[in-house]
Amino acid sequence: MRILVSGASVAGPVLAYWLTRHGFEVTVVERAPVLRKTGGHAVDLFRPAMNISEKMGVLPRVEERATGTSRMTVHQEGARRPVRVNLSKIFSAASDRHVEIMRDDLSEIYYDATRDDVEYVFDDSISAISPDGEVRFENAAPRRFDLVVGADGLHSNVRRLVFGEESRFSAFVGAYLGVLTLPNVFELDGELLIHVGVGRTAGMYGARHLGDARVLFLFRSERELDHHHHDVPRQKELLRGAFDGMHPDVDRWLDELDRTPAFYFDSITQLHMDTWSRGRVTLVGDAGYSPGPAVGGSTSLAVVGAYVLAGELARAGGDHERAFPAYERAMAEHVRGSHAAALSAAKTLIPTSRLGVRGLAQGARLISALPAGAGRALLRLTTGSARLYNSITVDDYPPPPAASRVGLGAE
C-alpha cells in the first residue's frame, strides 16, 4: 500500500518512520530543495513526544542536540533591574520529561531515521489530488497513491487543495511573531534574554552548537495587519514599528534586520477544522490542528499525531475509512486542549497590562525558586499547558516483526 506524505519537517518524517515500520510504502514530497538547515527556531518535546522519539531510537541524538537553555534574564520595560530565572527548574516543573531543540535539528534527526526506507522527493509540491488517488506534481510526473497525508504545516498545500482556502479555518489570536537569525552578539550560551512590555515581548537565545543566535519577536495587534506574505520589507517595517524605543538591546537586534540570512514573520493563528480527513486524504501536525506557532506545544502534538495516525492505519489494516475517524477521535481532546492552552500562553507571553508584565517575570522567578513539587503545583494552577502536556496519553501501536511487514508493503 503506497502512501504519499507532503512535508518533511517534524510530522512528515515521524509519520513516514512509523508507517514504514508498520509495513507501508512511503514517499515524502518536500517543497524545499534540501532539508532546511538555516533559520528555524527552538521547539519543545514534552513527555509523550520524548517517549515516541525513544521508541524510534533517536532519543540520545535528540538529547545531545538540546539547546541547553537553562537560564533566563527578564527585563521588564520601565523597570530598573532585570529578574533572573532558573529555566531548568521551570521546565522540570512543567514536565518530567522535556527537551528544547532547534526545529531544524529535530527534523534532521527524524529524517536520518527514515532516509534508508522512505523515498524523499525534494523541490516539488503536489498540484492536484483526484479522489481515486491520482496525484499531480509541479515537477514530477503524475503518480497514483492509496492515501495522501498533508504534513505541510500551518499554511498546508494539501489542506488548500482538498478543503479550500486557509481563511475558512484560521482564527487570528491577536498577535504576530517574527524570528531573526543573527550573530550571537551577546555571546549567549544556555541563556534566554528577554525584554517584555505591554503588548510586546522580544527574546534572544543561542546554543553552543549553533554558532549563531535567534531573536523571537511577539507583539499584539487587535486587528490583522495589512501586509502580503511575500512582502518582507513591509514585515520588517511592521516589526520595527512594534518594538520602537523598547530598549537598546532590542534596537541592536532590529539593526540586524537588514543583514539577517533568515527572517520569518507571520500572524499567530490557530486552525479549527471539524474534520482533518476527506476521502483518501488526511492531515497531520500543524497542517490539521496548529494551536498557533510559538504559543503552544504544537511540535509535541505533531509527533503524537503522526505516531497515532500511523498506528491507527496499521490497526485497521490500511482501511482509511476506519483508521482516519479513529485517529481523529484519539487526537480530538489533545487538540482542543492545546488550542485552549495556547490562548492562555499567548496572554502570559505577550502581556496586555503592566500587571501582566510584572506577573510574567515574578511568576517565572517564583516557580523557579520553589522546590520542584511546589513549582509544579503552581505552574499547574497558572497555566493549562503543563497540565495538558503531562496528561496526554498515547496508545501503544507496536509494529510487527520485520518479516511480517511485507504483506502490507507490497502491492
Ligand X SMILES: Cc1cc2nc3c(=O)[nH]c(=O)nc-3n(C[C@H](O)[C@H](O)[C@H](O)COP(=O)(O)OP(=O)(O)OC[C@H]3O[C@@H](n4cnc5c(N)ncnc54)[C@H](O)[C@@H]3O)c2cc1C
User: Which three three-digit cell numbers place residue 197?
Assistant: 512590555
Contact residue for ligand X among 157, 201, 260, 267 (CB under 6 A): 157
Binds ligand X (CB under 6 A): choice among 152, 191, 312, 328: 152
Contact criterion met (CB below 8 Å) for 4 and 146 = no
Q: Which residue has the cell 531544524?
A: 104
State yes or no: residue 48 binds ligand X (CB under 6 A): no
| 44, 77, 191, 312: which one binds ligand X (CB under 6 A) | 44
Query: Which amino acid is located at 168 in the chain?
Result: R
C-alpha cell recorded at residue 294: 510559538
12 binds ligand X (CB under 6 A): yes
- Interacting residues of 106 by C-beta distance below 8 A, sequence separation 6+: 10, 43, 45, 62, 65, 299
Count Cβ atoms below 10 Å from residue 341 Cβ, excluding itself.
21
7 vs 399, which CB is nearer to ligand X? 7
Q: Is 102 in the site for ligand X (CB under 6 A)?
A: no
Nearest residue (CB) to ligand X, 48 versus 293 = 293
Amino acid at the residue 302: A
**Min dist. Cβ of residue 403 to ligand X (A):** 31
- Interface with ligand X in residues 175-234 (CB under 6 A): 177, 179
Residues 6+ apart with CB under 8 A from 147: 1, 2, 3, 4, 133, 280, 281, 282, 313, 320
Minimum distance from CB of 372 to ligand X (Å)?
A: 22
Which C-beta is closer to ligand X: that of 121 or that of 370?
Answer: 121
Residues that bind ligand X (rule: CB under 6 A) add up to a total of 35
Q: Which is nearer to ligand X, 7 or 408 (CB)?
A: 7
Written as one letter, the residue type at 347 is K
Cell 499567548 appears where?
Answer: 346
Q: Is 302 in the site for ligand X (CB under 6 A)?
A: yes
Report helix, strand or coil for 24: coil
Length of the chain (residues): 411
**Residue 399 to residue 405: CA distance in whole angstroms:** 8
Does 150 contact ligand X by CB under 6 A?
no
Question: Which of residues 23, 39, 48, 153 is near ligand X by CB under 6 A?
Answer: 153
Q: Is 338 in the site for ligand X (CB under 6 A)?
A: no
Which of residues 24 and 217 has its CB atom nearest to ligand X in the complex?
217
Binding site for ligand X (CB under 6 A): 6-12, 29-32, 41-44, 103, 125, 151-154, 157, 177, 179, 264, 285-287, 293-294, 297-300, 302
